[in-house]
């Protein structure tokens, strides 16, 4: 047990993780000694991964394989917290596709998935956590989605929460070897005095700016992902099985971050436009990696070609970019595993954010 997570009453901090996915946020919380009492996830492959890697080793944790719209939040209160117990932290990022920056023009307005943001707050209202932390993509801040964000803030104020302004956090500033920007919203119950720095001070920065950022480390790069040997018999050491013609094409892509603009071939889908220049691009090992998306194992969807080999990255390599440990196994096959990796909160980022919250809660109670 991580005794640093005990409060003055010798009670471990507790949390509930909704829209839990494969468990990036949960894994981060557990590593800090926070006890996950319940998790909610709909995707069956993500549930399989969560169950095998997290739930099986934590008997008090109840995994609800449900559509959150059909799961009464009161059920979690009744089943996971006995009388007198409370939830300290509510975690979770609603599915973000409706807010994606890849949606064009007015696509995404009134997307039914956006209503899940408001459903999230119904869980806040039922569980009454001291703190909640919500993650989403920067697109949720676009004007076209403002009524959902305003609705979230209105509901939070009425329920008695002070909610921080949305902050865009880049994971590479917190020791994740990947440039990944996501929005985080922190809510604190009005009767809770939480004296913390929010967002937490970064731990890493651009190596060109180290001189002006005393005490910070350089951004981690993709090089370390590929330098460390993979575990023997790792079921996630798999990549896409490309056709011989595609292998031939990928061999043409130059090392050190080359892309399709550097090759002699042009795919039919690129003949009429010159966008998406990163597709079929190699990962540059000298820089933090690209954002791991739900299609991170597919070179046709972004800069996901291995730095030196003529194929896409493996699930394990993608998981390393998300700072999952090598013994964390993803289930459901290549495509489903890639989706789980891309949807996850990077473990090291989760640890950095939750550690600040945890210390603030413990100090308040100590």
Q: What is the pLDDT of residue 139?
A: 75
Over pLDDT 90: what percentage of the chain?
A: 69
Q: Give me the CATH number covering residue 85.
A: 3.40.50.150
User: Looking at the whole model, is its pTM more than 0.75?
Assistant: yes
Instruction: Provide the β-strand partners of residue 62.
Output: 38
Q: What is the pLDDT of residue 233?
A: 95
The count of domains in the chain is 1
Q: What is the pLDDT of residue 365?
A: 64
Residue 90 maps to a domain: yes
Q: What is the pLDDT of residue 120?
A: 79
Chain segment 75-127, per-residue pLDDT in tens: 999 999 998 899 999 998 676 544 444 443 444 444 454 467 677 778 988 99
Chain segment 33-84, per-residue pLDDT in tens: 999 999 999 999 999 999 999 999 999 999 999 999 999 999 999 999 998 8
| Averaged pLDDT for residues 6-28 | 86
What are the strands, taking DSSP E only, across the chain? 14-18, 35-40, 62-64, 89-92, 131-136, 161-163, 167-170, 181-189, 204-205, 217-218
Helices 44-53/334-343 angle, 10° precision:
70
Residue 14 lies in domain:
3-205+345-365
Among the listed residues 27, 75, 34, the one whose alpha carbon sits nearest the alpha carbon of residue 55? 27
Residue 30 maps to a domain: yes
Q: What is the pLDDT of residue 277?
A: 72
Chain segment 280-326, per-residue pLDDT in tens: 999 999 999 999 999 999 999 999 999 999 999 999 999 999 999 99
Residue 226 maps to a domain: no
Residue 159 maps to a domain: yes
- Number of other residues whose CB lies within 10 A of the CB of residue 146: 11
Among the listed residues 31, 30, 18, the one whose alpha carbon sits nearest the alpha carbon of residue 92? 18
Residue 229 maps to a domain: no
Q: What is the pLDDT of residue 48?
A: 98
Q: What is the pLDDT of residue 363?
A: 83
Residue 127 maps to a domain: yes
Residue 221 maps to a domain: no
Residue 41 maps to a domain: yes
The H or E element containing residue 149 is helix 146-158
Say if CB 219 and CB 207 are below 8 A apart. yes
């Amino acid at each position: 047990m991580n005794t640093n997570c005990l409060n003055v009453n010798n009670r471990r901090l507790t949390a509930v993780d909704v829209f839990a996915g494969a468990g990036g946020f949960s894994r981060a919380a557990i590593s800090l000694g926070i006890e996950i009492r319940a998790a909610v996830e709909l995707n069956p492959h993500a549930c399989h991964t969560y169950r095998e890697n997290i739930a099986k080793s934590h008997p008090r944790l109840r995994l609800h394989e449900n559509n959150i719209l059909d799961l009464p939040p009161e059920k979690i209160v009744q089943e996971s917290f006995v009388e007198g117990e409370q939830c300290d932290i509510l975690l979770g990022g609603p599915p973000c596709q409706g807010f994606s920056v890849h949606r064009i023009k007015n696509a995404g307005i009134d997307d039914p998935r956006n209503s899940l943001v408001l459903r999230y707050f119904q869980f806040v209202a039922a569980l009454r956590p001291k703190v909640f932390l919500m993650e989403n993509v920067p697109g949720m801040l676009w004007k076209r989605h403002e009524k959902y964000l305003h609705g979230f803030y209105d509901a939070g104020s009425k329920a008695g929460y002070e909610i921080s302004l949305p902050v865009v956090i880049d994971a590479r500033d917190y020791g994740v070897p990947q440039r990944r920007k996501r929005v985080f919203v922190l809510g604190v119950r009005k009767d809770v005095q939480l004296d913390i720095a929010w967002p937490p001070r970064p731990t890493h920065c651009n190596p060109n700016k180290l001189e002006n950022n005393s005490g910070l480390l350089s951004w981690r790069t993709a090089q370390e992902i590929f330098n460390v040997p993979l575990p023997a018999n790792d079921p996630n050491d798999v990549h896409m099985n490309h056709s011989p013609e595609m292998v031939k094409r990928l061999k043409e892509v130059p090392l050190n971050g080359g892309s399709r603009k550097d090759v002699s071939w042009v795919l039919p889908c690129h003949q009429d436009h010159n966008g998406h220049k990163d597709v079929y691009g190699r990962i540059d090992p000298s820089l933090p990696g690209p954002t791991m998306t739900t299609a991170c194992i597919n070179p046709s969807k972004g800069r996901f070609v291995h730095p030196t080999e003529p194929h896409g990255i493996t699930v394990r390599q993608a998981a390393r970019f998300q700072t999952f440990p090598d013994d964390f196994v993803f289930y459901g096959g290549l495509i489903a595993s890639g989706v789980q990796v891309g949807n996850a909160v990077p473990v090291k980022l989760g640890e950095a954010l939750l550690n600040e919250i945890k210390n603030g809660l413990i100090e308040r109670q100590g």
